[in-house]
Amino acid sequence: MKTNIVNGDIRIGFYICHCGHNIAGVVDCVAVARDIERMPGVVVSRDYKYMCSDPGQELIREDIRELGLNRVVVASCSPLLHEQTFRNAVESGGLNRYFFQMVNIREHDSWVHTDRAEATKKAIELARAAVKRVRFHSALETVRVPIHPDVLVVGGGIAGIHAALTLANAGKKVFLVERDPSIGGHMAKFDKTFPTLDCAACILTPKMSAVRANKNIKLWTYSEVAKVEGYVGNYTVTVRRKPRYVNEDLCVGCQECIEACVFKEGKYPDEFNVGLSKRKPIYIPFPQAVPQVVVIDPERCLQLKSGRCKKTCIEACADRHAIDFTQKEELVEIKVGNIIVATGFKLFDAKRIPQYGYGLYPNVVTSIELERLVTSSGPTGGEVVMRDGRTPQSVAFILCVGSRDFRTNRWCSRTCCMHSMKLAQLVREHTGADVTAFYLDIRAPGKGCEEFYDKSLKDGIQFVRGRVAEVTDWALTPEEEGKLVIRAEDTLAGVVRRIPVDMIVLAVGMEPQADAQAVRRLFNMSCGTEGWFLEKHPKLAPVSTFTDGVFIAGCCQGPKDIPDSIAQAGAAAAEAMALIDRGYIEQEPNTAYVAEEDCSGCKSCLPLCPYTAISLDGATQKARINATLCKGCGTCVAACPSGSIHQHLFEDDEIFSEIEGVLTHA
């Protein structure tokens, strides 16, 4: 990075951008340029339509070469947008990139004011401040921070699995941490997936096995992230591994211990079958679980709760000794460079809308419950039956349950129209029942989805456009006796209808996980008003967050279907890989440093640093700041009683001259 000082003089180039009409529409750019031209040290003062464009940048480069500029000021938009662009231009013109100062006269001036005279005066004052300041800039070098090559993926659903496999196949070491005893997420519970109706297990289980087999993936299930410290490229994560009371390395998943358990039958609601069947205290989540390892529920196991049990499970595992009641929770610390959060969603609790009778009428079920009924490996072996064992002759689907509703969740859950149509087709196929879907809108974007809607119509599913207000069990006509009655306005036909059905399926919407707030704080992420994790930019950066090195993928960012979740997972993996393969990030040199001759060794600064970047040098007994850990927050600079700590890019004379520029005239 060459500096370019001719005869020791400061030679400043000032450029004000019109930004099309954005700035020039309110600020008189020519007047600003003419005012700045008169300032001491200013060699050239130009106004131009689009400074960030190639010709605009070339102006800067040319002036540095031809006019021997050694300082550059650009008054245009937000530094968040183009500071890097202009710094790059300055550097390619042969000048150290930090001899540059940017002034925001768009977001801070033209976009928020309407009075032309006042706005121009403000632009002049801000520009003057920058011109005065830039004199005191010095040549700085960026610090390179190495990126640790390992990645942490949080959440073992389809998004987490895909991200982990993509990274692992590229040779990166991945820690995949999943809270449930098995990976697979919600997708493992599905029967067939829309719009192709291929079997969810058939496409998911190979990926789950691949995770298990991949040498680069360390799979930690039944584990949660407890603490995250550090910053991009250098995270220290503490993972809490919950005790399964079964040794993962010894268990082969033969399940003889489950057979032998003193509980002869399942007694507790089976989580995988969403409560439609029962399991024992010792169980394996589902037959294709990865890892194929048994888990013991400490809340329900007799031995763990009372200490008094025959422990027939241990007998059954006599040759492998995999069961270990002495297992304890383990806290493991790992170092990673990037984190991908793919923690998924939870379903809306249908009990919150008592009008639909969930929990009151036994034959009102949710979409996920029907999903388990329809699956051939489910609790009823694929038979769609009601709770009393009868096969329904008429089934109604109620869409938008807990979605698009100001009283519960305002958003559209995006997948339930397609999901409901899929279930409707499967119910028709399995039972031949009359199926009616009550909807507000049918949302079927995506490849093959409109065709799927068409197939639903061809399958003879009745669609009634009318949001259901309530489900009742009192009859007005003989045909309604003993059935659940839906009264809704068929808005398209323009008439109120009463439709009696045997079974009702509620298409419950998606919501952020119950502990989403706690999780996002763990990873220093923001969330939107609806509770979904916040992406850095809704269009341009959907998988990045405002914290460098932390990425999001899948439904934790917002409701979406499987193809979109996988796309986001791949995108997040690519973003992480970009950082890892580059190997370093260039840290802004706005770090603090100690002028040792002024430091008295009082140690006031040491405990103040949130990044533990300050230490006391044993030999000199003076404070020392680690530039790679320092994030430039300025706390120590302000606190130092002897004023011996300074900060690059925020030196005292830089700041005071800026203040002078704003307040004085000419």
Partner 1 sequence: MKYAYFPGCSLKGLGRAYEESLLPVMERLGVELVELDDWNCCGATAYMSVDERKACILAARNLAIAEKTGTYDLVTPCSACYLVLNKTKHYLADSPEINASVQRALGAAGLRYGGNTLVRHPLDILVNDVGLDVIREKVVRPLKGLKVAPYYGCQVVRPYATFDDAWNPTTMDRLLTTLGAEVVPYPLKTKCCGGSLTGTLPETGLRLTYILLKEAVRRGADVIATICPLCQFNLDAYHDQLTRQWGPVPIPTVYFTQLMGLAFGLPESQLGLNRNFVRMKPLPALPAKA
Partner 2 sequence: MIQVPRTVKYEAERVKGFGREIMSTPGCEQLVRCIQCGTCSGTCPLSVYMEHSPRQIMALVRADFKDEVLRSRSIWLCASCYACTVECPREIRITDIMYALKQRAILEEIYPKRFPIPILAKEFFKMVHSKGRITETLLVMRLFLKANWRAVLSSWRQGIGLIRTGRFVLRHERIEHREQLARMLDSDLHDAPPTTRKEAA
- The footprint of partner 1 (CB under 8 A) covers 354-355, 472-474, 476
Q: How far is the CB of 275 from partner 1 (least distance, A)?
A: 23
- What's phi and psi for 74, nearest 5 deg? -120, 125
Please say which residue, 30 or 476, places its beta carbon nearer to partner 1.
Answer: 476
When CB distances are held under 5 to 8 angstroms depending on the partner's kind, the choice from partner 2, partner 1, none that residue 107 binds is: none
List the beta bridge partners of residue 223: 241
Residue 107 or 405: the one with the smaller Cβ distance to partner 2 is 405
474 contact choice in partner 1, partner 2, none (CB below 5 to 8 Å, kind-dependent): partner 1
**Least spacing, CB of residue 439 vs partner 2, in Å:** 9
Please provide the DSSP assignment of 10-55 as one string.
Answer: --EEEEEE-TTTTTTTTS-HHHHHHHHHTSTTEEEEEEES-TTSHH
| Closer Cβ to partner 2, 331 or 496, answer by number | 496
Q: How many CB atoms lie within 10 A of CB 662?
A: 15
Query: Smallest gap, in angstroms, from Cβ of residue 474 to partner 1?
Result: 5
Single-letter amino acid, residue 230: G
Rounded to whole angstroms, the Cα distance separating 297 from 135 reads: 68
Choose among partner 2, partner 1, none what residue 43 binds, the Cβ cut-off being 5 to 8 Å by kind: none
Which residues are within 8 A (CB) of 76 and not within 5 positions of it... i.e. 6 or more apart? 15, 16, 17, 19, 23, 51, 52, 82, 102, 103, 104, 105, 106
Running DSSP on this structure, what letter comes out for residue 413? -
Of the chain, the end-to-end C-alpha distance in Å amounts to: 33
Give the one entry of partner 2, partner 1, none that residue 406 binds, where binding means its C-beta sits below a cut-off of 5 to 8 angstroms depending on kind: partner 2
- Contact between 663 and 128 under an 8 Å Cβ cutoff? The reply is no
Q: How far is the CB of 346 from partner 2 (least distance, A)?
A: 21
490 vs 588, beta carbon nearer partner 2: 490
The partner in contact with residue 168, picked from partner 1, partner 2, none with C-beta cut-offs of 5 to 8 angstroms by kind, is: none
The CA dihedral of 235, 236, 237, 243, to the nearest 10 degrees, is: 150
Residue nearer to partner 1 on the CB measure, 275 or 354: 354
Judged by CB under 8 A, which of 56, 378, 466, 558 binds partner 2? 466
* Bridge partner list, 46: 15
Q: Does 606 bind partner 2 (CB under 8 A)?
A: no
Q: Which one of 406, 529, 597, 666 is in contact with partner 2 (CB under 8 A)?
A: 406
Residue type, 80: L
Find the binder of partner 2 among 40, 478, 482, 494 (CB under 8 A): 494
Rule CB under 8 A: choose which of 6, 250, 331, 469 binds partner 2: 469
Q: Which is nearer to partner 1, 9 or 481 (CB)?
A: 481
Shortest Cβ 464–partner 2 spacing (Å):
9
Count of residues interacting with partner 2 (CB under 8 A): 20
Q: Report in angstroms how near the CB of residue 452 gets to partner 2 at its nearest.
A: 23
Please list, in sequence order, all residues whose beta carbon lies within 8 angstroms of the beta carbon of residue 492, skipping any fewer than 6 positions away: 464, 465
Residue 103 or 485 with smaller CB distance to partner 1: 485
* Residue 196 tokens, joined: 């192709």
Residue 406 or 474: the one with the smaller Cβ distance to partner 1 is 474
| Burial track 378-411 (b if 16+ CB lie within 10 A, e otherwise) | bbbeeebbbeeeeebebbbbbbbbbbbbeebbeb
Q: Which does 226 bind (CB under 5 to 8 A by kind): partner 1, partner 2, none?
A: none
Torsion of CA 171, 175, 177, 182, to 10 degrees: 50
Q: Enumerate binding residues for partner 2 (CB under 8 A).
A: 355, 400, 404-407, 440, 465-470, 487-491, 494, 496
